[in-house]
Structure 1
Amino acid sequence: MRINANVELDAGTKTFASGLLPELIAALRRSDKGDLVAVISDDPSIGRELESWCRFTRNSLIDTAVEEGRTRCVFRYGEPPENVGEDRPVGSRLWLYTNFDCNLACDYCCVRSSPKAQRRELGIERVRRIAMEATELGVSEIFVTGGEPFMLPDIGEILVACAAAAPTTVLTNGMLFAGSRLETLRALPRDRITFQISLDSPTPERHDSHRGKGTWARAWNGIQRARAEGFRVRLAATVSSDAEAQEFRSFLAAHDVREEDRVIRRIALRGTAMEGVALARADLVPEVTITADGVFWHPVGAEDSDLLVSHDIFPLAQSFAAVRRAFDRESDHQRRLARIFNCA
Structure 2
Amino acid sequence: MGSSMRIPANVELDAGTKTFASGLLPDLIAALRGGRKGDLVAVISGDPGIGPDLEAWCRFTRNTLIGRAVEEGRTRWVFRYGEAAEDVGENRPVGSRLWLYTNFDCNLSCDYCCVRSSPKARRRALGLERVRRIAIEATQLGVSEIFVTGGEPFMLPDIGEILAACAAAAPTTVLTNGMLFAGSRLETLRSLPRERVAFQISLDSPTPERHDRHRGKGTWARAWNGIQRVRAEGFRVRLAAAVSTDAEAREFQSFLDVHDVSEENRVIRRIALRGTATEGIALARADLVPEVTITAEGVFWHPVGAEDSDLLVSRDIFPLAQSFADVRRAFDRESEHQRRLARIFNCA
TM-score category (smaller protein):
over 0.9
Q: Which residue of 2 aligns with 1:245?
A: 249
Q: Which residue of 1 aligns with 2:284?
A: 280
Q: Which residue of 2 aligns with 1:26?
A: 30
What is the percentage of aligned positions where both structures have the same residue?
87
Q: Which residue of 1 aligns with 2:345?
A: none
Alignment: residue pair count: 337
Does the 8 A contact of 1:171 with 1:197 survive in 2? yes
Instruction: Determine the C-alpha separation between the residues in 2 that align with 1:15 and 1:128.
Output: 53
1:184 to 178, 181, 188: 188
Does the 8 A contact of 1:109 with 1:271 survive in 2? yes
Q: Which residue of 2 aligns with 1:197?
A: 201
Instruction: Determine the C-alpha separation between the residues in 1 that align with 2:265 and 2:293.
Output: 22
1:78 to 82, 94, 104: 82
Residue pairs, 1:120-269, within 5 angstroms: 120-269=124-273
Q: Could you give the per-residue CA deviations for residues 202-221 of structure 1, whole angstroms, max 9, x where no partner exists?
A: 11111111101110111001
Q: Could you give the per-residue CA deviations for residues 111-138 of structure 1, whole angstroms, max 9, x where no partner exists?
A: 0000000000000000001000001111
Instruction: Determine the C-alpha separation between the residues in 1 that align with 2:175 and 2:129.
Output: 21
Higher mean alpha-carbon deviation, 122-131 vs 19-28, is at 19-28
Q: Which residue of 1 aligns with 2:318?
A: 314
Instruction: Determine the C-alpha separation between the residues in 2 that align with 1:87 and 1:113.
Output: 29
Instruction: Determine the C-alpha separation between the residues in 2 that align with 1:208 and 1:24.
Output: 40
Aligned AA for 1:283? D
Deviation at 1:48, TM superposition (A): 2.6
Does the 8 A contact of 2:66 with 2:282 survive in 1? yes
Deviation at 1:22, TM superposition (A): 1.5
Q: Which residue of 2 aligns with 1:5?
A: 9
Deviation at 1:5, TM superposition (A): 0.9
Deviation at 1:334, TM superposition (A): 2.6
SS of the equivalent of 1:45 reads helix
Instruction: Determine the C-alpha separation between the residues in 2 that align with 1:185 and 1:301.
Output: 28
- Is 1:63 aligned with 2:44? no
Aligned AA for 1:70? R
Listed as ranges, the gaps of 5+ residues in structure 1 are 338-344
1:49 to 46, 53, 57: 53
Does the 8 A contact of 1:108 with 1:271 survive in 2? yes
Q: Could you give the per-residue CA deviations for residues 284-330 of structure 1, whole angstroms, max 9, x where no partner exists?
A: 11100000000000000001001001111000011011111111111
Q: How high is the TM-score relative to the length of structure 1?
A: 0.96
Does the 8 A contact of 1:47 with 1:64 survive in 2? no
Residue pairs, 1:97-136, within 5 angstroms: 97-136=101-140
Does the 8 A contact of 1:59 with 1:80 survive in 2? no
Instruction: Determine the C-alpha separation between the residues in 2 that align with 1:119 and 1:40.
Output: 36
Does the 8 A contact of 2:66 with 2:78 survive in 1? yes
Listed as ranges, the gaps of 5+ residues in structure 2 are 342-348
Aligned AA for 2:198? T
Q: How high is the TM-score relative to the length of structure 2?
A: 0.95
Aligned AA for 1:92? S
Does the 8 A contact of 2:62 with 2:339 survive in 1? no
Q: Which residue of 2 aligns with 1:39?
A: 43
Deviation at 1:336, TM superposition (A): 11
Q: Which stretches of structure 1, 4 residues or more, deviate above 3 A after TM superposition?
A: 83-86
Instruction: Determine the C-alpha separation between the residues in 1 that align with 2:178 and 2:91.
Output: 31
Does the 8 A contact of 2:87 with 2:269 survive in 1? no
Q: Could you give the per-residue CA deviations for residues 226-266 of structure 1, whole angstroms, max 9, x where no partner exists?
A: 00000000000111111111111111000000011000011
Does the 8 A contact of 1:83 with 1:285 survive in 2? no
Deviation at 1:84, TM superposition (A): 4.5
Q: Which residue of 2 aligns with 1:332?
A: 336
